[in-house]
Chain A
Amino acid sequence: MTETLPTARAPRLRPIGRMLAVRVLGTLAILFVLSIVVFSMLHLAPGDLVKTLLGTRPASPEAVAAIREQYHLDDPLPVQYLRWLGGVLTGDFGQSIRLQTSVADAIGSRLGLTLALCGLAFVAAIGTGIPLGVQSAVRAGGVLDRIGTALGVIGLSAPTFAVGLLLLYVFAYYLPIFPVYGGGRGPLDTLYHLILPAITLAAGLGAIVLKLTRTAMLRELDADYVTSARARGIPEGRVRRLALRNAAIPIVTGASLLLTFLVGGTVLAETTYALPGLGTLLQDSVLFKDLAVVQALTLLVSLVIAVIALLADLAYLLLDPRVRAKGGTA
């Protein structure tokens, strides 16, 4: 036989390293451009910049002068940007006009709750969407599949705030099992308070995961290697795991994109349940033109999305040996 086997593993890792470096650099470039956009928000915001920065304080000449001094508004723009960027990189996002605290503190005190909410919702969506999707695909056309499809349509089409209100009415008011609003005190109580909001968020997400899983699984179960595995007498459980492992490639790519959907969803869910998280902070800050907070949150959200996209690429490499071999160019 003339065929040769790839014996050395090291050369295969080099293209992966190169691809990683390219992706990280790309992400940094995007964040750089975004920082410029976010910085310009201050200057592009409608209305007088100084008045906005003054907030509710009286606009006396002294106060105006103090503001101009504090924000270095008389410096050239590039200098202002670099100064702002330096602050951002050292964790100094400036002061929140509305809360009269540092932006870092305002965000830091609410970050945990939002992360917990997103995490819970994501776990709930994956934990229900994938098993249901697998079962729907395995028994396509069966009762479970039809129920799954119906649930999927409802989850996809019902807006987050509507689901939230409905759940509130049923499980907090009519059947007072869960609290109506607030974030709770202590880890357990917080978890208790987060259950309904997480379900609300997870509904739409889980529906998409279910659809993704079902479609991917249906395709894989139809593949030759599944027929071949079944014909070899491999138990059905193993065959399904085998198909799911292959289906994981589209599912993971899809699910990682969904994480970014969560970011928008939290604003609605937190508002509906009056949770003191980043979503409500963003909403209030926009209403109050609390620009420093809006800037920081926008930057944070873009950072999160960029990192998720990077992780999704990595997951792809991890899941598909064929892409690994090609160094991620395909």
Chain B
Amino acid sequence: MTGIDVALEGIEGPAGRMVEPLSFGIAPAASLALIGESGSGKTLTAKSLVGLLPPGFRAAGTLRVDGREHRLEQTDASWRAVRGREVSLLLQDPFTSLSPVHRCGPQIAWTLEAKAGRRLPARELEAEVARRLAEVNLPARVARAHPHELSGGMRQRVAIAAALASDPRLLIADEPTTALDASNQAEILDLLRELQHERGMAMLLISHDLGLVRGRTDEVLVMRHGEVVERGDTARVLSAPEHQYTKALIAADPALALDAAVPAEASGHSEASAAGASTDASDAPPLVRAAGVVKRFGERTVLGGVDLDIAAGEIVGIVGESGSGKSTLARCIAGLEREDGGTIAFDGAMLAPGRRSRTPGQMQIVFQDPYSSLNPMMTIGQILREALAVGGRAAAEVPGLLETVGLPADAAAKRPAQLSGGQRQRVAIARALAPRPRLLICDESVSALDVQVQAQILELLGWLREELGVAILFISHDLAVVRRIADTVTVVWQGRVVERGPCARVLDAPVEEYTKLLVAAAHRDRPPRHDHTHSHDHSTDGRTIPA
């Protein structure tokens, strides 16, 4: 018999049972998606199949590859027969899954040699590495490059080439595109699909994103709290989910907002001028006006004269791929980078480059990764008191601040490690709000979060704008997320503004070629759904799921 058969009898962790018994099969060239939020046990399940569970975790069960049986509880030495040859693992983050100090060629070559079980002649290796690179649509000279010289998409291609160099029968892809831009995501997934068919290789795709899975996998397994809550044909699960949890997952998917747009509504918007970011006719200057901002890093021009207006209480989205300059623009506005040219005015007054000319009450930043932006040694209370002191407010306001961002008062005594990712990002937002800023800069602030938590944080940001009147500069590579929250959107490409205007107009009826490409990539990534889920009110659904 061919194909993959997994009969997992369970995974035990230091805190008890993490994954309940489950079983699945994948035919050659077929693919199965394992969906769930973080902590659902999907990654543990994947790692148990290559014997790489973290210390303290133990799996029991069998893995059958084309009839060859492997026990999951075997020791390290015997895993060598499985790893690479039978199963290979592709990790989420191409920025960390390749060794930074080695060139890409050798990293692929090691897998080749590991499979051969001996050293191979240099000439032979070089030719084979070039062939493997060509398979993932990369030129042979990439072999000479260090990972840091490549873009995220290229790195992930190198990682794929390295993972597949041992010609495994099963590829486990653990959130392989989460760290990538929308346009890269689709390319990588399609590439994987193609390679799978060429090789007759089975794939286990692990994701928290249901939209990503649509049209790309044959079957779906939805996991929650270590248990499979729903399984079946991908199209069936997505169009007619049975379990409450699956329904909630689908509803929380921001792609819904992207798809839900009615063309008629969009045409109404498109009457607004293309440069209508600040079409409000009032004489008052915008809260922030950046004009002709130029920034160079060495000889590379990252921003080539960018204009941006943010009105008070407005949510302005900036979209673009990584390297487009969108974060640099935000950092210039915040004073974290010094612009080389152009002007930035706040409330009509010019701001000199750098942090010294800005006050905490003007603007605050919420960063992408809530795991590294909070000091792990401080309690939440200490973090917030520090921020309050910066804004000249009393320490007694900590509970009120926590309440604003929807956290219980007893969170103040905890440290960041005791909170979930979503809760941490709430703390980061509370910290940013402490000096009562008039502008909140969110730099990919929801990108690292699960879809459901993402939905909740977006809801919180919208609420903060309504309640506190704070303006938000929202930077993201994810069009669907921006679509959901921003009033106007500015598309940035290679350090220049390509298109701007009301959110619905730009994203539904883009004028510029590049914007069309971005929107198309986002749609390809999340093919439109055509079913009853439209009627869902995501905000209420989002709330039924604990963060």
A5-B141, A5-B142, A242-B99 known; A233+B84 contact, CB < 8 A: yes
Is residue B245 contacting chain A, with contact meaning CB distance below 8 A?
Answer: no
- Say if the beta carbon of B101 comes within 8 Å of chain A: yes
CB–CB B150/A3 < 8 A: yes
Residues in B whose Cβ lies below 8 Å from that of A224: 91, 93, 96-97
* In the bound complex, CA of A225 to CA of B98 (Å): 5
Which residues of A lie under 8 Å from residue B153 when comparing CB positions? Answer: 1, 3
Nearest residue in B to A321 (C-beta to C-beta)? Answer: B146
A-side interface mostly: helix
B162 within 8 A of A: yes
Chain A 296-330, CB-CB to B under 8 Å as 1, else 0, gives 00000000000000000000000111100100000
Query: CB-nearest residue of chain B relative to A326?
Result: B298
CB within 8 A of B89: which of A6, A7, A228?
A228
Cα separation A296 to B163 with both chains bound (whole Å): 59
Tell me the smallest distance from the CB of B199 to a CB of chain A, in Å. 15
- Shortest CB–CB separation between residue B498 and chain A, in angstroms? 13
Complex contact A227–B52 (CB within 8 A):
yes
Collect the chain B residues with CB atoms within 8 Å of residue A234's CB: 84, 110-111, 114
Is A230 touching B91 in the complex (CB atoms < 8 A)?
Answer: no
> With A and B bound together, what is the CA distance between A325 and B146 in angstroms?
10
* Set of chain B residues within 8 Å of A233, measured between Cβ atoms: 80, 82-85, 88, 111, 114-115, 166
CB pair A322 B80 closer than 8 Å: no
Instruction: Tell me whether B83 and A231 are in contact (CB under 8 A).
Output: yes
Partner among B76, B96, B137, B165 whose Cβ is within 8 Å of the Cβ of A232: B165
**Residues of chain A in range 207-235 having any CB-CB distance to chain B below 8 Å:** 223-225, 227-235
If A225-B97, A227-B89, A321-B101 touch, whether A232 touches B149 (CB-CB below 8 Å) is: no
Instruction: Report yes or no: B114 in contact with A232, Cβ–Cβ below 8 A.
Output: yes
Q: Which residues of B contact A242 (CB under 8 A)?
A: 99, 102, 110
In the assembled complex, A271 has its CB within 8 A of some CB on chain B: no
A167 CA / B25 CA spacing, docked (Å):
65
Cβ–Cβ contact A322 & B114, under 8 A: no
Is B408 in the interface zone, CB < 8 Å from A?
no
Total A-B contacts with CB atoms under 8 angstroms apart: 105
| B151: Cβ under 8 A from any A Cβ | yes
A90–B272 Cα gap in the complex (Å)?
81
Shortest Cβ distance from B147 into chain A, in angstroms? Answer: 9
The answer to whether A235 and B80 touch across the interface, beta carbons within 8 angstroms, is: yes
The answer to whether B93 and A232 have CB atoms under 8 Å apart is: no
1/0 per residue, CB under 8 A from A, across B94-115: the answer is 0011111110000000110011
Determine the chain B residues whose CB is within 8 A of the CB of A246 once the complex forms.
99-101
Indicate if A43 sits at the interface (CB-CB under 8 A): no
**Chain A nearest Cβ from B518, distance in angstroms:** 12
A321 touching B83 in the complex, CB below 8 Å, given contacts A232-B162, A233-B88, A235-B114: no
A245 at the interface (CB under 8 A from B): yes
A319: which B residues are within 8 A, CB to CB? 101
Contact of A231 with B89 in the complex, beta carbons under 8 Å: yes
Q: How would residues 239 to 256 of chain A score, 1 for a CB under 8 Å from any chain B CB and 0 otherwise?
A: 000100110010000000
| Shortest distance from the beta carbon of A159 to any chain B beta carbon, whole Å | 33
A238 contact set on B, CB distance < 8 A: 110, 114
**CA of A60 to CA of B141, assembled, Å:** 81
- Choose among A230, A231, A232, A245 the residue that contacts B102 (Cβ–Cβ < 8 A): A245
Interface flags for B143-178 (1: CB within 8 Å of A; 0: not) read 001101111011000010011011000001000000
Cα A236 to Cα B100 in complex, Å, equals 19
CA distance A322 to B163 in the complex (A): 24
A225 nearest in chain B by CB position? B99
Contacts of A245 in B (CB 8 A): 99, 101-102
A22 CB to closest chain B CB, in angstroms?
Answer: 16
Q: Is the CB of A231 within 8 A of B163?
A: yes
**Beta-carbon nearest neighbor of B152 in chain A:** A3
- Residue of A with least CB distance to B163: A232
A113→B142 CA distance, assembly (Å)? 50
Most buried by B among A6, A227, A320: A227
**Contact A231-B52, Cβ < 8 Å, known A224-B91, A224-B97, A325-B149:** yes
Contact call A225/B114, Cβ cutoff below 8 A = no
* Residues of A contacting B84 in the complex (Cβ-Cβ under 8 angstroms): 231-234
Q: How far is the CB of B323 from chain A (nearest CB, A)?
A: 9
User: In this assembly, does B139 line the interface, its C-beta being within 8 Å of a C-beta of chain A?
Assistant: yes
Complex CA–CA separation, A242 to B97 (angstroms)? 13
Is B387 an interface position by the 8 A CB rule?
A: no
Whether A320 contacts B101 by the Cβ 8 Å rule is yes
Q: Once the chains are docked, how many angstroms separate the CA of A246 from the CA of B107? A: 13
> Which residue in A3, A223, A230 is a CB contact (below 8 Å) of B83?
A230
> Quick one: which of A58-110 are within 8 Å of B by CB?
none
Contact of B88 among A232, A235, A249 (CB under 8 A): A232
A223 touches B96 (CB 8 A): yes
Closest to B137 in A: A1
* Whole-angstrom distance between the Cβ of B376 and the nearest chain A Cβ: 15
Q: List B contacts of A232 (CB < 8 A).
A: 83-84, 88-89, 110-111, 114, 162-163, 165-166
Nearest residue (CB) in A for B87 is A231
Is A321 a contact of B154 with CB atoms below 8 Å? Answer: no
Closest to A239 in B: B110
Chain A proximity of B388: nearest CB distance (Å): 33
Name the A residues within 8 Å of B30 (CB-CB): none
Residues of chain B within 8 A of A6, CB atoms compared:
145, 149
Q: Which of A1, A3, A228, A322 contacts B97 (CB 8 A)?
A: A228
Which of A230, A233, A242, A249 is most buried by chain B, counting CB atoms within 10 A of its CB? A233
- Docked-complex contact B96 and A229, CB < 8 angstroms: no
Interface 1/0 per residue, A1-28 and B, CB below 8 Å: 1010111000000000000000000000
Name B321's closest neighbour in chain A (CB-CB).
Answer: A2
Kindly state the separation between the CA atoms of A159 and B90 in the bound complex, as whole angstroms: 50
B544: shortest Cβ distance to chain A, in Å?
A: 34
**Minimal Cβ-Cβ distance residue in A for B164:** A232
Measured between beta carbons, the chain A residues less than 8 angstroms from B162 are 228, 232
Cα A267 to Cα B527 in complex, Å, equals 74
CB distance from A110 to the nearest CB of B (A): 41
Given contacts A5-B139, A238-B110, contact A231 B99 (CB under 8 A): no
Residues of B within 8 A of A249 (CB): 101
Which residue of B is nearest A248, CB measured? B101
Residues of A within 8 A of B114 (CB): 232-235, 238
Kindly state whether residue B8 has any CB partner on chain A within 8 Å. Answer: no
What chain B residues lie within 8 Å of A1 (beta carbons)?
Answer: 137, 153-154
Contact of B50 with A by CB under 8 A: yes
Interface bits B111-136 vs A (CB < 8 Å: 1, else 0): 10011000000000000000000000
Cβ contact within 8 Å between B146 and A322: yes
Interchain CA distance A249-B102 in the complex, whole Å: 13
- Distance from A137 Cβ to chain B, minimum over Cβ atoms (Å): 13
Chain B residues within an 8 Å CB radius of A321 = 100-101, 146, 148
Minimal beta-carbon separation of B111 from chain A (angstroms) = 5
Q: Report the nearest A residue to B159, measured CB to CB.
A: A228
Closest approach, in angstroms, between the C-beta of A139 and any C-beta of chain B?
11
Contact sample, A vs B, 17 pairs, CB 8 Å cutoff? A5-B139, A5-B141, A5-B145, A223-B96, A224-B91, A224-B93, A230-B50, A231-B89, A233-B82, A233-B114, A233-B166, A235-B114, A246-B99, A320-B101, A321-B100, A321-B146, A321-B148
Q: Given A5-B150, A230-B50, A233-B88, list of 9 further CB < 8 A pairs?
A: A1-B137, A7-B141, A224-B91, A228-B163, A231-B163, A232-B114, A233-B85, A234-B110, A234-B111
Which residues of B are at the interface with A, using a C-beta cutoff of 8 A?
50, 52, 76, 80, 82-85, 87-91, 93, 96-102, 110-111, 114-115, 137, 139, 141-142, 145-146, 148-151, 153-154, 159, 162-163, 165-166, 172
